[in-house]
A and B are shown apart, each in its own frame.
Chain A
Amino acid sequence: MVGTLRMASASTKQLLRSSEVIATMVVFPSALLVILALFSDLRWESSAGAVPLIDFWVTGMGVLAVALGNGHAFLATIANYKAGGVLKRLSVTPASPAQLILGKVIPRTVMGMVTIIGFFAVGRALGADLRLEPGIVAVVPVMAMVTVTGLSVAFVIAGLTRTPQNANALESSINFPLYLLTGAMFPLAAFPGWLEEAARFVPYAGLIATVRGVAVEGQPLTDFGPELAIAVAWMALLFAGAAKAYRFVT
């Protein structure tokens, strides 16, 4: 436990000293928000009526900004640990992979939560109809799940590949197609029926639906039982996979 907390503390220091924190928390979300602002007057036409694009995208892209920005930068770090020998050095200590993973995930989860709150606040200032009442706090644990899921995916990919270059290539080929199916950019209702049903089981899809429901519609978390159940199952599966795949020694 002491080792895990110390690892989390050390990870926080490393994060704060890196330029990555600026890129992940400021540059990347800001770039997305600028693009969203350009489309602030557009609306989706669907059977449910017209939906302002900015409402839809601020929530969906906000979640992806956290998952993508955090996970992508993190993947480079942990893939380098493996290729550069940091993991091998840790392997001769009693520290476990799970300890390292938890130690890395804790500060990044906090970072993800802060990022999404900032993202929503700026998004609202740009015209998104988001609720920032006390109920929005319900989004925070959901964003923690987004972060853990994203980082676990990164650990699995780093564990399965030998070099940072291979890790990046695998991540791009898995994540980018997947993001299109999460409902972040297009409503799942617009997909063909079979794809709409399948997409509900994609990691992040349930989390995005939940964040959107809470932030835009003001629904309580309890309305999203099935979505959260799928997300929790993915999170648990990916975390277990991360601890298994990201071994200290190959």
Chain B
Amino acid sequence: MDRQRDQAVEVQDLVKIYPRPGGGSIRALDGVTFDVRAGEFFGFLGPNGAGKTTALEIIEGIRRPTAGGVRVLGIDPRRELDRVKRLIGVQLQADSYFSLLTIEEILELFGSFYPKRRPPAELLETVGLADKRKAYVRQLSGGQQRRFSVAAALVNDPEVVFLDEPTTGLDPQMRHSLWEVLRRLNRDEGKTIVLTTHYMEEAELLAERVAIIDHGRIRAIDTPRDLIARLDGLGRIEFATSTRVEIADLERLDGIAGAATRSNGREPGTLAPTVYELQVSEPRAAVTSLLSWSEARGVDVRGLEVVPGTLEDVFLQLTGREMRD
């Protein structure tokens, strides 16, 4: 694999096979190839068990691949693991630290393992935990613990930061607060960030490019905008009506790629309104034709809403199923 100067991570044909308890094997990664450019915010999006963590841990040198190659900043972790470790920062999915050291002491200790280090006070300031420096990890809230994990990942002022589901289990407010920290790291400090997540919104908001992974295979890699633009339909139209409507009639309208009901178990045409969901290929044409058609047919359209396409739709289209949490 030739190293490109501007590439922080190169992954080529990565395969990882685990023995299955009771016999047989599990192919956790099946020919995964991607690269991350220096300074990029890269998202690895997939459901639980898709292979995100396995891929990340192979890149970090924790696990050995069954086949394939990895380079981090041009270095092969299998050959020069210590060199790679000095240049990267890692936040594991389930980070754990010494219980009887304060968070400031943990950062001091971890910093001593590296030739280059950032002062603990500065790190805690970065993640908004300066006032908690004398606290033990167990005394922090869930969100604060996640932020501390990010601080610990930055202790050696790394060039590339790997974050494995950093916001899982956090409430929306904490999640937004951590997103802001990560954005600043990428935008203001120029850190290359590789983040795994199963939150569509997180990948869409933070990542410049997103790799969608499922069952150990990369299904697509692109910017969120271009992934969404690739969709057959560009978003959805939702409306409710109590009038009986044939799906086939809706599908014949201009700008509509497909139609379905979300009737919550009620039969269309009964007194309770039925919600219709239309896949849209041309939003303007779709709205115009829908309104004209409803007026001509006397269909009582209520709560009309145009919903833009999301990564959720991309995932659904690529894998044929919804994200499993």
A: residues with CB less than 8 A from B are 2-3, 6-7, 10, 13-14, 17-18, 84-86, 88-89, 91-95, 99, 249
Contacts and interface: CB of A to CB of B under 8 A. Distances in A.
B114 A94 contact: yes
Interface stretch (B9-17, B65-73, B102-110): B102-110
Contacts of B62: 88, 91-92, 249
Contacts, number: 58
B34 interface: no
Given A14-B100, A88-B62, A94-B85, 6 more contacts: A3-B112, A14-B99, A85-B92, A85-B94, A93-B114, A99-B113
Contact of A14 (B85, B86, B96, B98): B98
B97 interface: yes
B285 interface: no
Interface hub of B101, B105, B112 (most chain A Cβ within 10 A): B112
B168 to A, nearest CB: 15
A86 B86 contact: no
Contact of A92 (B85, B94, B112): B85
A6 B112 contact: yes
A169 B109 CA distance: 32
Interface string B60-86: 111100000000000000000010011
B96 A7 contact: no
Interface residues of B, number: 26
5 contacts: A6-B108, A86-B97, A89-B152, A92-B85, A99-B113
B95 interface: yes
Contact of B100 (A18, A92, A94): A18
A22 to B, nearest CB: 14
Given A2-B112, A93-B85, A17 B100 contact: yes
B87 to A, nearest CB: 10
A106 to B, nearest CB: 14
B90 interface: yes
B98 A3 contact: no
A186 B111 CA distance: 49
B70 to A, nearest CB: 14
A3 B113 CA distance: 5
Interface hub of A2, A10, A13 (most chain B Cβ within 10 A): A10
Contacts of A95: 113
Given A88-B92, A94-B85, A10 B101 contact: yes
Contacts of B96: 84-86, 88-89
A10 B113 contact: no
A50 to B, nearest CB: 48
B113 A13 contact: no
Contacts of A99: 113
A92 B57 CA distance: 9
B92 A92 contact: yes
A148 B109 CA distance: 23
Contacts of A6: 108-109, 112
Contacts of B108: 6
Interface hub of A2, A18, A93, A95 (most chain B Cβ within 10 A): A93
A13 B101 contact: yes
B105 A10 contact: yes
Contact of B95 (A18, A89, A93, A94): A89
